[in-house]
């Protein structure tokens, strides 16, 4: 996923977890955001409580996070207001269609590929590239 992030650009890692993205960056300004402290520099925001960071970045990075966000439309709108592009992974309904299993994983939404493209189109971002990982996750790169 980091291949879509240009060297030197600023990156906001939304749902950063252990901040593993940092090791793949090259001269980038990095902002790690999560609902709990993940170490030095963590910006604490609970997206499900309507909290979103005020930092602006060239690239929003969302890996393994959108599935857990209840108000995903609000979240994507915030990305559009704060970033020029977005690299996002999402387990689409086309690849993970079993809703009971999705709920067991604590996923709270069920978007299709088309839903995701439409959401980002609504904030002025177009799909530039798309890949499927070995674990069957879909990775999308959107940009204004």
pLDDT in tens, 112-121: 999 999 999 9
> 2-143 domain in CATH 3.40.50.150?
yes
User: Predicted confidence band at 20 (pLDDT cuts at 50, 70, 90)?
Assistant: very high
Average pLDDT over residues 68-94: 97
Residues constituting the chain: 144
Average pLDDT over residues 117-141: 94
**The pLDDT value given to residue 93:** 95
User: Predicted confidence band at 17 (pLDDT cuts at 50, 70, 90)?
Assistant: very high
Q: How do the domains of the chain map onto residue ranges?
A: 2-143
**The pLDDT value given to residue 26:** 87
Measured CA angle at 69 (ends 123, 53), to 5 deg? 65
CA dist 134 and 40 (Å) reads: 31
Output the average pLDDT for the chain. Answer: 96
Tokens found for residue 46: 């609970």
pLDDT in tens, 22-41: 999 989 999 999 999 998 89
CA dist 37 and 45 (Å) reads: 10
Comparing CA positions, the residue from 132, 143, 35 lying closest to residue 91 is 132
Residue 136 has pLDDT above 90, yes or no: no
Beta pairing partners, 10: 29
Measured CA angle at 41 (ends 75, 64), to 5 deg? 40
User: Predicted confidence band at 133 (pLDDT cuts at 50, 70, 90)?
Assistant: confident
């Amino acid at each position: 996923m980091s291949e879509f992030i240009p060297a030197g650009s600023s990156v906001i890692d939304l749902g950063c977890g252990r901040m593993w993205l940092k090791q793949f960056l090259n001269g980038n300004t990095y902002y790690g955001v999560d609902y709990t402290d993940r170490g030095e520099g963590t910006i604490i925001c609970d997206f499900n409580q309507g909290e979103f960071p005020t930092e602006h970045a060239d690239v929003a990075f969302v890996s393994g996070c959108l599935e857990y966000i209840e108000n995903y439309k609000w979240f994507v709108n915030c990305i559009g207001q704060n970033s020029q592009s977005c690299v996002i992974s999402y387990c689409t309904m086309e690849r993970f269609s079993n809703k009971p299993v999705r709920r067991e994983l604590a996923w709270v939404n069920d978007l299709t590929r088309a839903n995701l493209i439409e959401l980002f189109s609504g904030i002025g971002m177009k799909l530039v590239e798309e890949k499927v990982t070995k674990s069957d996750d879909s990775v999308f790169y959107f940009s204004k």
